[in-house]
Amino acid sequence: MLPASGLDYRAGCVPSFHGLVHAIGFAAPWRIGTLAYRTTVMGEHLDLADVGIRSLGLLWLLAGAGFLAVGLRLAWRGSVPGRFLAAAALLALVICLLGLPESGFGTAIDGVILVVPAILAQQATVAGSWR
């Protein structure tokens, strides 16, 4: 579990907002709104066709739902099992890597989301061993 100390509803806003941003990755392949539609990924080197890009859009939606669930859990319970956050971030990272270069910022954010809790958990383990 990620530590609950000092967490409240505001802490849940960060992953929730990140999850909502992932809706963009769902909306474009499903032609919702005025976002640009294309079927290519990896800098337009791989064409997934219509079915493939819509499937990728569903994965964007799944990752976004995962971040939203993590945010809601943080807001209501004050803690979240790290494996849930890691699963959402890992899925999002893979999807963002496919969307490079456009998804470069998201790739960095997902990388930070994966690394920071691991560092905090390691520090807590080391601090606990000194007691």
pLDDT digits (tens, 9 = 90+) for 64-88: 999 999 999 888 887 788 889 899 9
Residue 39 lies in a domain: yes
Question: Closest Cα partner for 98 from 67, 129, 53?
Answer: 53
Residue 7 in this model has a pLDDT that exceeds 60: no
The DSSP annotation for the chain comes to ----TT--HHHHHHHHHHHHHTHHHHHTTTT-TTPPP--EETTTTEE-HHHHHHHHHHHHHHHHHHHHHHHHHHHHHS---HHHHHHHHHHHHHHHHHTTTTTHHHHHHHHHHHHHHHHHHHHHHHHHHT-
| Residue 61, domain extent | 9-129
pLDDT grade, residue 47 (50/70/90)?
very high
90-130 pLDDT tens trace: 999 999 999 999 899 999 999 998 888 778 777 766 555 54
More confident residue, 43 or 116: 43
What pLDDT score does 81 carry?
82
- pLDDT of 60 strictly over 60: yes
89 falls within a domain: yes
Residue 53 resides in a domain: yes
Q: What would the mean pLDDT of 6-20 be, rounded to a whole number?
A: 80
On whether residue 28 sits in a domain, the answer given is yes
Residue 27 lies in a domain: yes
- Please say whether the beta carbons of 98 and 56 come within 8 A: yes
Residue 116 belongs to some domain of the structure: yes
Residue 3 lies in a domain: no
Domain count, the chain: 1
Is 2 a member of any domain?
Answer: no
